């Protein structure tokens, strides 16, 4: 399977006075796309540079500090046009070009701050998985929906109120109530989303692509960024995150139990379990888990149904790793072969 890796979007923030934001609202009124918020705090989106890959969110507050946020699609910013699939590698020359383009925008808007005054607020570490068909995309999405329910994480409803989203350059998929085209789990400083990129592009941007792509995005923000990339300037932080992206994403996939080498049909899973060298009691537990994963919505629900501890459950999953299959099985009608080794191998 072809897998592309890189940074899709990142955002920079800097404090800004109430009056400067008011001037921007007045002088750039033709480019104000949306306004939301409370009576005392307004969130304004300035889309003048969106075709170039930069959207500007202005948070104007009477009783709190006001902010300016640059939401950047670096691949689009470097090329000068919207690049929906390209992923950015934070190398020296490309970062210099991003920095140059952002300086030009700041100068054109006559903002009082410099690019060095901005702090990295969020980074989306992204993978594009090129599938053989849209059916494979849907099957892989269903596999992700059965992920472990992590402590402090909650499954997220993709419907958000206007202005609350922190990534307007390429928004995550706003699916229907059944959430058929995306799955997202989030905590305070981290969010992981899996979605049908082709569907999202057609729905949100009116763009049709020939490839069937499942997009994985690990969105890291605030304190979590500093733990992973240190407290340097935003360019150094991007370099470090780009360098460590495989390790960071793979570690998260492991926590979700989504890093097994292969997903097979139930009959094949039972066959491999039977042919293994494990004891009968272990085989029985493995078969029970396969059955529970077919009827339960997640690894967490299956573990609770089985009535075993987290430690014993992890040990049981280790048995599946040895026979190189996931306890999650393919639906009966699925004729595709699901290999997951590309998550780790870089294939």
Ramachandran region, residue 329 (left: φ > 0; alpha: ψ -120 to 50; beta: rest): beta
**Edge-to-edge strands, sheet with 41-46:** 32-37, 41-46, 54-61, 66-72, 2-16, 119-131, 212-221, 190-196, 182-186, 154-155
Provide the token pair at 188.
């305070």
Q: What is the pTM of this model?
A: 0.89
Q: What is the pLDDT of residue 1?
A: 83
Question: In angstroms, rounded to a whole number, what is the distance separating the alpha carbons of residues 229 and 238?
Answer: 8
Confidence of residue 40 (pLDDT cuts 50, 70, 90): confident
Confidence of residue 347 (pLDDT cuts 50, 70, 90): very low
Mean pLDDT of the 300-309 span: 96
Q: What is the pLDDT of residues 56-114, one digit of tens each?
A: 999 998 888 899 999 999 999 999 999 999 999 999 899 999 999 999 999 999 999 99
Question: In angstroms, rounded to a whole number, what is the distance separating the alpha carbons of residues 211 and 301?
Answer: 34
Q: What is the pLDDT of residue 37?
A: 74
Mean pLDDT of the 293-310 span: 96
**Percent of the residues in the chain that have a pLDDT greater than 90, as a whole number:** 78
Contacts of residue 279, defined as CB under 8 A and 6 or more positions apart, other chains included, come to: none
Give the closest residue to 183 by CA, choosing from 167, 200, 169, 168. 200
In angstroms, how far is CA 298 from the centroid of its own chain?
Answer: 19
Q: Is the pLDDT of residue 234 over 80?
A: yes
Q: What is the pLDDT of residues 309-346, one digit of tens each?
A: 999 999 999 999 999 999 999 988 776 666 665 555 44
DSSP 88: B
Question: In angstroms, rounded to a whole number, what is the distance separating the alpha carbons of residues 95 and 103?
Answer: 12
Domain ranges for the chain = 3-162+172-256, 266-329
* CA–CA–CA angle 54, 58, 62 (5° rounding): 175
Question: In angstroms, rounded to a whole number, what is the distance separating the alpha carbons of residues 195 and 126?
Answer: 11
In this structure, of 22-26, 243-247, 271-275, the range with the lowest mean pLDDT score is 22-26
Q: What is the pLDDT of residues 170-203, one digit of tens each?
A: 343 333 444 689 999 999 999 999 999 999 999 9
**Percent of the residues in the chain that have a pLDDT greater than 70, as a whole number:** 90
Q: Is the pLDDT of residue 269 over 50?
A: yes
Q: What is the pLDDT of residue 333?
A: 74
Is the CB of residue 10 less than 8 Å from the CB of residue 250? Answer: no
Give the closest residue to 221 by CA, choosing from 166, 183, 172, 169. 166
Q: What is the pLDDT of residue 157?
A: 67
Provide Rg for the chain, Cα atoms.
Answer: 22
What is the DSSP annotation of 50-85? Answer: GGGTEEEEEEEESSS-EEEEEEE-HHHHHHTS--SS
Q: Is the pLDDT of residue 117 over 60?
A: yes
């Amino acid at each position: 399977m072809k897998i592309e890796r890189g940074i899709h979007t990142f955002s920079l923030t800097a404090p800004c006075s109430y009056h400067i934001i008011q001037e921007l609202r007045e002088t750039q009124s033709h480019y104000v796309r949306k306004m939301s918020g409370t009576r005392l705090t307004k969130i304004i989106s300035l889309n003048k540079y969106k075709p170039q890959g930069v959207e500007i969110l202005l948070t104007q507050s009477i009783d709190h500090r006001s902010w300016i946020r640059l939401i950047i699609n670096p691949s689009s910013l470097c090329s000068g046009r919207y690049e929906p699939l390209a992923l950015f590698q934070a190398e020296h020359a490309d970062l210099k070009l991003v920095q140059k383009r952002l300086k030009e925008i700041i100068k054109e808007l006559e903002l009082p701050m410099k690019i060095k005054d901005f702090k990295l607020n969020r980074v989306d570490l992204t993978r594009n998985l090129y599938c053989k068909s849209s059916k494979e995309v849907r099957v892989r999405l269903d596999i992700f929906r059965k992920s472990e329910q992590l402590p402090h994480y909650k499954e997220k409803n993709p419907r958000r109120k206007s202005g609350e989203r922190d990534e307007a350059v390429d928004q995550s998929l706003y699916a229907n109530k059944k959430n058929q085209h995306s799955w997202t789990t989030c905590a305070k400083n981290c969010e992981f989303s899996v979605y049908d990129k082709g569907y999202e592009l057609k729905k949100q941007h009116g763009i049709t692509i020939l490839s069937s792509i499942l997009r994985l995005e690990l969105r890291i923000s605030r304190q979590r960024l500093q733990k992973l990339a240190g407290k340097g300037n935003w360019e150094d932080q991007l370099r470090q995150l780009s360098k460590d992206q495989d390790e960071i994403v793979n570690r998260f996939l492991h926590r979700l139990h989504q890093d097994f080498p292969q997903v097979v049909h139930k009959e094949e899973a039972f066959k491999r379990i039977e042919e293994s060298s494990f004891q009968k009691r272990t085989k029985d537990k493995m078969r029970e888990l396969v059955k529970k994963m077919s009827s339960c919505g997640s690894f967490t629900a299956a573990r609770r149904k089985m009535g075993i501890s987290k430690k014993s459950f992890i040990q049981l999953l280790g048995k599946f790793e040895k026979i190189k299959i996931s306890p999650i099985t393919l639906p009966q009608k699925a004729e595709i072969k699901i290999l997951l080794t590309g998550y780790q191998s870089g294939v």
